[in-house]
């Protein structure tokens, strides 16, 4: 005879232990009974066990998901516009007939936003050499 069964004509009860996360152990019973109340009670216990397992499973999923979800990168500020760069160029007082003035304008038109960002951050004393260097790199000089 299988484990957990008896040879009497009474109700057949199978005991099963369910273990999760090593800390909780539950015993659930299933069986065939003639009494409707007992059957309802067994179904209720089974639902409670399933509910507890479902809850534990959801907690594990949440934990795993929280470890794998990367936080969103902070929003990057808008790069300086051509007009922003022109305003700084005017403040420097460079003459329009100065070759560096024309090269600076060409650099501002480059699609690489990093050049405009650098232009806005570099100090006035370093800008002439920076414009020469980037101008040569881009083929403007």
Give the pair of three-digit tokens for residue 126: 């370093």
Higher pLDDT, 109 or 9: 109
What is the reported pLDDT for 70? 72
Residue-wise pLDDT for 106-127, tens only, equals: 999 988 889 999 999 999 999 9
What is the reported pLDDT for 29? 47
- pTM listed for this prediction: 0.47
What is the reported pLDDT for 107? 94
What is the reported pLDDT for 46? 60
What is the reported pLDDT for 77? 84
Residue-wise pLDDT for 52-105, tens only, equals: 888 888 888 888 877 777 777 778 788 899 999 999 999 999 999 999 999 999
Residue-wise pLDDT for 46-60, tens only, equals: 666 678 888 888 888
What is the reported pLDDT for 75? 82
* 34 has pLDDT over 60: no
Higher pLDDT, 135 or 40: 135
Is the distance from CB of 7 to CB of 1 less than 8 angstroms? yes
Would you list the DSSP string of 69-119? PPPPPPPPPPPPPHHHHHHHHHHHT--TTSHHHHHHHHHHHSS-HHHHHHH
Cβ burial of 85 (10 Å; 0-12, 13-18, 19+) is buried
């Amino acid at each position: 005879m299988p484990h957990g069964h008896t040879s009497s004509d009474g109700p057949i009860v199978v005991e099963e232990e369910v273990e999760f996360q090593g800390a909780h152990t539950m015993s659930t019973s299933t069986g065939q009974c003639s009494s409707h109340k007992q059957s309802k009670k067994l179904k209720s216990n089974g639902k409670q066990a399933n509910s507890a397992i479902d809850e534990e499973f959801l907690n594990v999923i949440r934990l795993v998901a929280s470890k794998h979800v990367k936080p969103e990168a902070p929003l990057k500020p808008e790069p300086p516009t051509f007009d922003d760069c022109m305003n700084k160029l005017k403040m420097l007082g460079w003459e329009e007939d100065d070759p560096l003035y024309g090269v600076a304008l060409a650099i501002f038109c480059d699609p690489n936003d990093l050049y405009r960002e650098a232009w806005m951050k570099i100090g006035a004393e370093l800008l002439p050499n920076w414009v020469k260097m980037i101008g040569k790199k881009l083929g403007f000089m």
